[in-house]
Amino acid sequence: MNQTTRTRSAMHQRSNPLDSDLLQVLLFYILPFIVINSIIFFVVTAKPKYELTVAPTNDYQTTTATFKITSHMPLKNVTITFNSQPLDLVSVGKKTYQATLTENGILDVYMQNFNGMCVSNYEVVDTLDDECPDVVSYDIDNGLLVLTLSDSQSGVDYSSLHATSAGGTVYEPLSIDKTNGKVTFQLPEGGVTVSIKDMSGNEYQPTFSVVKSTEGTGDGSEDTVILQ
């Protein structure tokens, strides 16, 4: 029994150096190799990172774009343009910049790390109101011009509505129904040009002319109005 125990102990002692050598190879060669190569791979392939936010507009005339660099790698080049023009950015914090936008368009972002890796993206800005109000319908009713107006963003500026005749006479609206967007004007024979603005100042100036009904037909037909 003692002989067997001594034999097993001797075998165990002889195996310890091998286990120790494997552990040393693992700790001092294999693991460092994996870690170092992982770091090299990350450094070589890391791309720039950023956050770009376009805030909602309060007046449909301006909005704010915020650009924040979120990557930790050194940058070689950063280019931000709006409608192909350099964007005037102001620093508002650590790696954070802002710019005020006064029109719709496209924000282009190009970033390049020191390792040569780059990103190129764009953001469409379409929250601002740069379109004129629309005349949904128009008609003549008992000699009056009846318009239905619409503006999907800032809304029609009903307080600025007026019409001007060819002779320069200015006509204020006879009635305004903001709920349904209906407005009526006096309609002289020579027609009128109506000034329709929205709350952002965009203006549409359609001209309406009267086409007289054929006289003597006796069918009770009314005059018609055309948009020029």
Evaluated on CA atoms 184, 185, 186, 192, the torsion sign reads negative
- Pull the structure tokens for residue 57: 């507009």
Domain assignment present for 107: yes
Domain assignment present for 219: no
> In the chain, how many domains are there?
2
The reply to whether 209 and 146 lie within a common domain is yes
Paired residues of 204 in beta bridges: 196
Tell me, what CATH number does 165's domain have? 2.60.40
pLDDT of residue 39: 67
> What ranges in the chain are assigned the alpha helix state H?
2-25, 31-45
The reply to whether 151 and 200 lie within a common domain is yes
For 162-186, the pLDDT digits (tens) are: 999 999 999 999 999 999 999 999 9
Domain assignment present for 168: yes
The reply to whether 142 and 116 lie within a common domain is no
Last residue of a domain, one of 94, 125, 156: 125
Last residue of a domain, one of 58, 90, 125: 125
Domain assignment present for 40: no
Please determine, for residue 60, whether its predicted confidence score (pLDDT) is greater than 60. yes
The pTM for the full model equals 0.68
Distance CA 20, CA 24 (A): 6
Give the range of the structural domain holding residue 108, as residue numbers without chain letter.
Answer: 50-125
Q: In what order do the strands lie in the sheet with 85-86?
A: 85-86, 75-82, 105-113, 118-125
For 128-146, the pLDDT digits (tens) are: 999 999 999 999 998 899 9
